[in-house]
Structure 1
Amino acid sequence: MLRGRSVRHGDFTLVSGQKSEWYVDAKLTTCTAAAMPLVGQVFLDKFAVRGWLPKAVGGLTMGADAIAASIAYASLSRGLAIDSFVIRKESKKHGMKKFLEGMIDPAGAPVVILDDVCTTGGSTVLAIERAREAGLEVLGACCLVDREMGARAAIEEPLECPFDRIFTLAELI
């Protein structure tokens, strides 16, 4: 489903500025009703393998949003109650001026940071940093598709944060 809906071949410039002949628009898959139960289950399977027991999951909006909601819903079928949250790219300019949405009391909550596609890891790094600033305990980071272009190196050692993925780009092409 991901390969058929989200992977495109051509001449693309990525967010990182790098050129690629492959583009992955994972939201074309993760936002579909048919994919959501599958997305939730594969991430929960990965968390079980890693020993991650998060109270909530989320990441930088938009890439993480559909994945986080899918995991939250699927968690109920396993007797878990994993909530989802959203990290804004910029804090709100009004009200409480926060950048973390969906959690009443984030202090110390164990979470997994999500992303749909990781290239250099910039969005995931920002999400991890913002989550930690909000007081969350980041157990790890996981993306749906890892392009294997530096995300792991940007996340694991410098941030002391375990990183995993569901698929690599090579597996999809």
Structure 2
Amino acid sequence: MTEEEILAHYRETDALLEGHFLLSSGLHSDRYLQSAKVLMYPDRAAALCQALADKIKSALGENAVDIVVGPAMGGVIVGYELARQLGVPGIFTERENGVFTFRRGFSLKPGARVIMSEDIVTTGKSSRECIDTIRAAGGDVVCATCLIDRSNGEADVGVPLISLMELEVNVYEPDKLPPELAGTEAIKPGSRNLK
């Protein structure tokens, strides 16, 4: 799948937004990718995750993973569909008192080879938190994956990161906004509450 084909899925579902956005990291941006709007279509989710699964198999080989874990919310659908494409179970972590944990009876076998997967990586904060939770539960994180790496390859999640595509999106510190954003109110489209 080409980068243009990937972005077409986002454009055709109005999931590529333009304006002034407050990201869950506290940074501001002039573009936002709302993957939930793409993933609400099972055929699109399957196509995107199949392309990502192909990249993972190419990088790691066949049968290199035992389970896929995604952080709620952004990693639930991607993790499930990626697990389906790879033929392994898929589970997710949830925040409890602000910290990722396994609930609903989910657990990992000691030494399980795990792919941590989510929809978008910007700073890598959620990915690192999820990876810490996986390791604390006895999992061996072989890599992290995402549909789109908004950091353009700059995010350090502590393990190799395989993305379907990298996309450079401008992000700004709150006190360093460009004039076109400084005079507008920021919209917070993400799922995580800011402190």
Deviation (angstroms), 1:151: 5.6
Structure 1 residue 113: deviation in Å?
Answer: 0.4
Confirm whether residue 70 of structure 1 aligns to residue 76 of structure 2: no
Find the partner of 1:47 among 39, 43, 56.
56
Question: 1:30 is matched with which residue?
Answer: 39
Contact 1:55 1:82 in 2 (8 A): yes
SS class of match (1:54): coil
TM-score (norm 2): 0.72
- Contact 1:59 / 1:87 at 8 angstroms: preserved in 2? yes
Residue 130 of structure 1 aligns with an amino acid whose one-letter code is T
Deviation sequence 1:81-136 (CA, Å, 0-9, x none): 31101111127xxxxxx625564542111010011111111100000000000001
Q: How many residues align?
A: 155
Which has the higher Rg, Structure 1 or Structure 2?
2
Question: What are the ranges of 5 or more consecutive residues in structure 2 without an aligned counterpart?
Answer: 1-8, 170-195
Q: Are 2:162 and 1:164 aligned?
A: yes
**Residue 89 (str. 1) matches residue 95 (str. 2):** yes
Q: Decide which moves more: 43-52 or 142-151.
A: 142-151
Letter in 2 for 1:61: A
* CA–CA separation in structure 1 for the residues paired with 2:153 and 2:60: 24
Q: Which has the higher contact order (CA 8 A, sep 6+)?
A: 2
Question: Following TM superposition, where does structure 1 have runs of at least 4 consecutive aligned residues deviating by more than 3 angstroms?
Answer: 100-105
| Structure 1 portions without partners, runs of 5+ | 76-80, 92-97
- 1:2 lines up with 2:5 in the alignment: no
Q: Distance in 1 between matches of 2:144 and 2:109?
A: 17
Aligned to 2:70: 59
Q: Are the counterparts in 2 of residues 145 and 168 from structure 1 also a CA contact under 8 Å?
A: yes
Return the alpha-carbon distance in structure 2 between the equivalents of residues 12 and 40 of structure 1.
26
> Is the Cα–Cα contact under 8 Å of residues 50 and 82 in structure 2 kept in the other structure?
yes
